Chain A
Amino acid sequence: MRIVAEHLSYTYDASSPFAARALDDVSLTIEEGEFFGILGHTGSGKSTFVQHLNGLIRLPSSQKRYRPKKGQALPVLRVGEFDLADKKTDFKALRKRVGMVFQYPEYQLFAETVRDDVAFGLKNFAEKGKMPTEEARTEAVKSALEIVGLDYGEVADQSPFDLSGGQKRRVAIAGVIVTRPEVLILDEPAAGLDPLGKKEIMELLHRIHGDWCKTIVIVSHDMDEIAENCTRAAVFSEGKVVMCATPKEIFSDEARLSALGLDLPLVAKLCHALRARGISIDCDDKTEDFVRAVLSLKEGGA
């Protein structure tokens, strides 16, 4: 599903003294099959933007009492064949196909067993009178738990609250992908995890990407995460999209990034440092790539 957003704006608590502008005329297109990154500081509007994508925040024009204002570019938001600016859109059907993993998703676990928690979405999204059979459900839960790297036999009957932090997060992710959404959005999926946990979560996302979920969108403020994993990324700042390109292009514009108060990923920093010493190196800002480039330099050059 292709995601097209044009002229998206959003203000929290409009018409109150607490009004805060979160999105300001955002236009962005995410193609099917991408591993898209959304970068930005806290309060840059990145979370607000992704909540639009599965209709948790509605466009004004999709709400009951809506009167268009004159002289304003009408916002457009389309996800696949769903037109989110339309009142008649079936938001439940949309949510089935656009999965959303919130920040610290382990805090939304509630059921008595891991099995029940993962099956929650499965039951909710079942069409009327078409509840999947017990076996079909078990099968879906089993494959979801396995792709996130958990052993079904071991955890299925445990209480989700008895698991470790990293395991809880995997269960929560399994609970979202169990319905096989085409687009998976994750808000800071690796926040609060140790380096190994972060790496495992990213590996998990690459396992899911492709066959399981065609498009993945991650929100992050970790430059390394974006540089290592994404095919393309957008930089949000004060509610606006200020850059949208491949990570390599984004991180080559050091001056612009530092003006936005954003840091470079480690590999990009090393490349810059090497270049400053007259050693030119061409790589993709990925650790593996970098190591390979440095090794070949050593073999060829020295």
Chain B
Amino acid sequence: MKDVSFGQYYPIDSYVHRLDPRLKLLFLIVYIVCIFLANNFAALGVCAAVLIVTVIFSRVPIGKVFRAVRGVIVLIMITAVLNLFFYTGEGEPLWEWGILAIYREGIFFSVFLILRILLLVVCSSLLTYTTTPVALTDGIESLLTPLKWIKFPVHELALIMSIALRMIPALTEETERIKNAQKARGADFESGNPVKRIKAFIPILIPLLLSALRRADELGDAMDSRCYMGGKKRTKYKKLRFSWRDLIAASVGAALLAGVIVMRIFLGGIL
């Protein structure tokens, strides 16, 4: 349970931390588009270079960044292996056994895919490392504002998100406490067959669920008793403002997108 620090905000001050959350969200979207537009190693290399520079500027320790990767390592391996064996290229395969065959293109494609997923994961975790959950929801709310025209409850959605994020540490702590309490009564979560282990979690899950419902009720009552109403007239504690930093980051994003598109058109192919 202590491993949930994956993607948790890393509280230091840096250039990237100070960027406007809206810009960081947009940058992430543009970056993901770039990763998928890039169809050759040169373009992907440029993407990687931009990300590495961003990580350096964010001053988030490299260990933290790799920790984010550790969570998806299995996914990466499975995708890579599947692609390696089932990708059918032109010409003679390098190795063949039944329906499995490795082609030269298959190897390149697998490596390409690994890089793509890596960049994706590092980039999105960098966003959560450098942006507080509150700033992030503010940013999302602000970006989704146009949807209000079609009567989409943007504010309520943002509120639900921030409450959910706010409750994660509280529930983690609660889980830890209940787990300890049941351990003190001799509960064993580490041994036995899988069925037995899953069953061992019932004494944690039921109290946890009850406590989550109770907290939700209490929070609802507390908001009601202070006459909370979402909507137009609410003002923000922290107003989001673009600054010169955001201008620089925005130009980097635009340049990256343009560069990747140019390389896609003129270089083409995976190599």
Contact = CB atoms under 8 A, between A and B. Distances in A.
Of B11, B177, B186, B203, the most chain A CB neighbours within 10 A belong to B186
Interface in B182-201: 182-188
Interface residues of A, number: 25
B185 A121 contact: yes
Contacts of B183: 56, 95
A102 B181 contact: yes
B188 A120 contact: no
Contacts of B207: 107-110
Interface in B62-114: none
A265 interface: no
A105 B181 contact: yes
Interface residues of B, number: 21
A240 B182 CA distance: 28
A37 interface: no
Contacts of B14: none
A175 to B, nearest CB: 6
Do most interface residues of chain B lie in helix, strand or loop, or is the interface mixed? helix
Contacts of A100: 181, 184
B202 A176 contact: no
Contacts of A175: 185
Nearest to A16: B5
Of B12, B181, B206, B207, the most chain A CB neighbours within 10 A belong to B181
Interface string B131-144: 00000000000000
B180 interface: yes
Nearest to A93: B186
Interface string A258-281: 000000000000000000000000
Given A56-B180, A108-B207, A125-B186, 16 more contacts: A16-B5, A17-B11, A100-B181, A107-B210, A107-B211, A108-B181, A108-B182, A108-B185, A110-B206, A110-B207, A120-B182, A120-B185, A120-B187, A121-B185, A161-B210, A176-B185
Interface of A: 16-17, 51, 54, 56, 92, 95-96, 99-100, 102, 105, 107-111, 120-121, 124-125, 161, 175-176, 179
Interface of B: 5, 10-12, 177-178, 180-188, 202-203, 206-207, 210-211
